[in-house]
Structure 1
Amino acid sequence: MIPVEQILHPDWVLPIEPAGEVLTGHSIAIDQGRIAAIEPRQALESRHQAAAVKELPGQVIMPGLINAHTHAAMTLLRGYADDLPLMTWLESHIWPAEQAHVGEAFVRDGSALAVLEMLRGGITCFNDMYFFPETTAAVAAEAGMRATVGMILIDFPTPYASGPEAYFEKGEALHAQWANDPLIDTTMAPHAPYTVSEPHLVRAAELAERHGRRLHMHIHETLGEIDASVEKTGSRPLMRLDALGLVGPQLLAVHMTHLDERERDRISATGAHVIHCPEANLKLASGICPIADLAARGVGLALGTDGAASNNNLDILGEMRTAAMLAKGASLDATALPAHQALEIATLGGARAIGRDQEIGSLVVGKAADLVSLDLNTPEADPLHDVASQVVYACGREAVRDVWIAGRHVLKAREPVTLDVPAIRARAAEWRDKLQR
């Protein structure tokens, strides 16, 4: 018998790889933080023995969800300024609030609340862009959560840095601090083409290339952004970036709600990744990313929530359902983005985008045991004809029961193991009072 640390017995497994597969009556063995075996239950039990065995009747296990774009600490601004256009929201409300309140304590407490919410929603990894990324990384690591944190860059001073040189220095230090961590990774994260000058964008891309990291940026979020770029430079933002040599497999282009034919061709030809944030884009009336068309062109796609200040939640299961519905409605094609493809975008697509697909994103022997179980033994999931469709179209995040990251059981029966929930909620209430004053 082969000794392993854990054996899980769900009713179904959605491995994501191979594509479209649903395994019934299969079990999963976990050892040293990795998937040791996925086999029919009887075969697995005949060869493996574990100290911990967990029965999961009526449940499906799938890879942990990946939130490929968020601003974790902004969870403290959830509901702070709603029902406003993007630039009014930013310039008149969010940026002034950040200038007044953002610091290490704000980011620590906001990131802890975000990690709590994401774990309870089955998210095992998030890709963050915000100030004081060192603090967000520390919060995630302490909670046992996987994160990719951005070396943030913006041309103007903020409470985090006095200007571009300070951002670059802090980015280099952030990367060095977490370079060999098993859970925490980094990207270069210039905010947007309208807040970062072209010389600094080029320097950011060079830094990302030197460290073998991605370039994570808001691009084509609104028509106003595009019109302003055309008026100022004569070019649309994506084509300006392309002329600078920044559009390629390293680019994580967030939002992309307005794309002409030439831009869609370039995204497909260059291998850039598009991070779709459907619910934030809808709420801010920014536009709709043409995800069905991009998927048909073979573009690498992932899902993000954006920040809870503009969404107002960090729910990738919800984003997945909205993305699938939008793809169908916008393309007038009910076959666009079917359930299995939506699941892949929410898991393996995110892993590919952030460059961690050799480690996470699908249930393959040898990969990290980042798993989530969802309970389908509920009236809301009855009758169960198709497991994948039920997960995409019928399940909410309340169906999430258990979460494992690198084999560590971090959510048990919806209760976080590594977080002090009352303390996190109490600090969030304190920040609410400060912001309201």
Structure 2
Amino acid sequence: MMAPVEIVDLVIEARWLVPVDPPEAVLENYAVAIDHGRILDVLPQSEVAARFSPRQRKRLDQHVLIPGLINLHTHAAMTLLRGLADDRPLMEWLHHHVWPAEAQHVSAQFVHDGTRLACAEMLRGGITCFNDMYFFPGAAADAALASGIRAAIGLITVDFPSNYAADADDYLAKGLAVRDQRLDEPLLSFCLAPHAPYTVGERSFARVLTLAEQIDLPIHLHLHETAHEINDSMERFGMRPIERIRRLGLLSPALIAVHAVHVNAEEIELLAQHGCSVAHCPSSNLKLASGIAPITALSARGINIGLGTDGAASNNRLDLFQEMRLAALLAKEESGRADAINAHRVLHMATLGGARALGLEADIGSIAVGKYADLCAVSLNDIALAPCYDPVSHLTYAVGREHVSDVWVAGRIRVENGQLVENNAPGLIKLALLWQNKIRP
């Protein structure tokens, strides 16, 4: 007897499907069956009728279907500071422009509004999950939930007061309260987010490490972003930042080292030995003249790498297709090898690499049975993309975020035919202009 046809919520049929795992697989004329937000099956389109009766069917005849992109490092609310004080060195930009603006304007409402704007931009660009680090994480969490995007909310810690908290203990207490209040939200996860070795002291790091071990959270930390950071650490502590945090016990599989631009061979070995992940942010590093991360060497040692946009104030786009292209091209230049990091490897960084860093690889990052249906459809039906010999090469070197047609998060449509669903784009632009008038120097 034939098995009965199963009723499911949605079947998506695509010209190409790139699952990311197994590596370098490209499936032609395949379909994904989705029910209750998760992937029930991945199968040839010719077998769908005999297996499934979908309540809804989506045909993508000229598209490539990929896992939703994962932005492994950003400061989402800083969309409201996009373009503020551009073309300045990092420390001048921070000390004389960004931090003063934040001290004057950052509030729960600022974070909520800026994060809503960022979520809309990211969703339209195929990003279905972002790893955030900013003040007022509860406001960021609420904005992400309202937008229908998946988010890893950073519980920020620094050793100086802000509009959000008085000291490191206050940051951690407020952050943990945010986590406790939202533990049952399936679209949210959490990270401990000590800002950087130059803003967090030994006592605060010790508390972060204890909490990370007690409640099993990743640690999201800026590390070795600039030569200035390293020189400052040598003057203050007599050692480079990675050695300092190694002595404090923070090197572990829980660590997401953001930037890792200025790492030598011994430090790469340390990151590899301790199973750390790296969040590679090529656009931000170039814009702030921080340098080029040695991702070929990092990758060769088996270090897990994800891609991040950083904040819109230092990029100025929350665009992972741009980061994919830059990551691939810079790896070729930095290593002197055209085959250093190929297109499949970069797509892995933008998807499963980010998921692994966040401890979410069982649920997202690839198109696999049992995972959440966090998916991105990219239309290749464009004169600028013709002809197409290799869809994955196109994703890295030719596609722009404007080619994203449809986006699903946990099986729910969030972008349809290039337009946001359940998100008031004109209203968000108006909101951004209101903040611009308040912040304008």
Give TM-score scaled by structure 1 length: 0.99
User: For 1:157-176, what aligned pairs fall within 5 Å after superposition?
Assistant: 157-176=161-180
* Maintained 8 Å contact 1:220/1:257: yes
> Could you tell me which residue of structure 2 aligns to residue 318 of structure 1?
322
Distance 1:417 1:259 in 2: 42
Q: Secondary structure at the match of 1:249?
A: coil
Distance 1:329 1:144 in 2: 38
Number of aligned residues = 437
Corresponding residue to 2:160 among 146, 156, 159: 156
> Could you tell me which residue of structure 1 aligns to residue 130 of structure 2?
126
* Maintained 8 Å contact 1:8/1:56: yes
> Could you tell me which residue of structure 2 aligns to residue 13 of structure 1?
17
Further displaced range: 175-184 or 400-409: 175-184
Confirm whether residue 68 of structure 1 aligns to residue 72 of structure 2: yes
Corresponding residue to 1:246 among 250, 254, 267: 250
* Maintained 8 Å contact 1:38/1:44: no
> Could you tell me which residue of structure 1 aligns to residue 121 of structure 2?
117
Q: Secondary structure at the match of 2:161?
A: coil
Letter in 1 for 2:308: G
Shift of 1:46: 1.5
Q: Where does structure 2 lack aligned partners over 5 or more consecutive residues? A: none
Shift of 1:418: 2.1
Distance 1:367 1:284 in 2: 37
Shift of 1:180: 2.4
Distance 1:393 1:174 in 2: 40
Shift of 1:87: 0.2
Corresponding residue to 1:287 among 291, 295, 298: 291
Corresponding residue to 1:347 among 342, 347, 351: 351
Letter in 1 for 2:174: K
Corresponding residue to 1:37 among 38, 41, 55: 41
Confirm whether residue 263 of structure 1 aligns to residue 282 of structure 2: no
User: For 1:27-106, what aligned pairs fall within 5 Å after superposition?
Assistant: 27-106=31-110
Letter in 2 for 1:212: D
Confirm whether residue 219 of structure 1 aligns to residue 190 of structure 2: no
Distance 1:342 1:417 in 2: 28
* Maintained 8 Å contact 1:342/1:392: yes
Shift of 1:421: 1.2
Distance 1:114 1:421 in 2: 11
Distance 1:369 1:247 in 2: 32
Q: Secondary structure at the match of 1:309?
A: helix
Q: Where does structure 1 lack aligned partners over 5 or more consecutive residues? A: none
Distance 2:297 2:151 in 1: 29
Tell me the percent identity: 48
Letter in 1 for 2:97: H
* Maintained 8 Å contact 1:108/1:136: yes
Shift of 1:416: 1.1
Distance 1:386 1:165 in 2: 52
Deviations 1:101-120 (A, max 9, x none): 00011111100100000000
Distance 2:116 2:316 in 1: 16
Distance 2:88 2:46 in 1: 57
Distance 2:385 2:374 in 1: 24
Confirm whether residue 186 of structure 1 aligns to residue 190 of structure 2: yes
> Could you tell me which residue of structure 2 aligns to residue 420 of structure 1?
424
Q: Secondary structure at the match of 2:209?
A: helix
Shift of 1:45: 2.0
Shift of 1:171: 1.5
* Maintained 8 Å contact 1:37/1:44: no
Distance 1:380 1:314 in 2: 22
Distance 1:135 1:232 in 2: 35
Confirm whether residue 135 of structure 1 aligns to residue 135 of structure 2: no
> Could you tell me which residue of structure 2 aligns to residue 275 of structure 1?
279
Distance 1:364 1:11 in 2: 17
Further displaced range: 420-429 or 171-180: 171-180
Letter in 1 for 2:417: A
Shift of 1:257: 0.6
Distance 1:301 1:16 in 2: 14
Confirm whether residue 408 of structure 1 aligns to residue 412 of structure 2: yes
Shift of 1:350: 0.3
Give TM-score scaled by structure 2 length: 0.98
Letter in 2 for 1:12: W
Deviations 1:306-360 (A, max 9, x none): 0000000100111011001000111000011101011001000000001101000
Deviations 1:8-28 (A, max 9, x none): 111010000111000001111
Distance 1:244 1:164 in 2: 17
Q: Secondary structure at the match of 1:129?
A: strand
Confirm whether residue 375 of structure 1 aligns to residue 357 of structure 2: no
Letter in 2 for 1:41: Q
Deviations 1:115-146 (A, max 9, x none): 00000000000000000010010111111110
Q: Secondary structure at the match of 1:25?
A: strand
User: For 1:224-235, what aligned pairs fall within 5 Å after superposition?
Assistant: 224-235=228-239
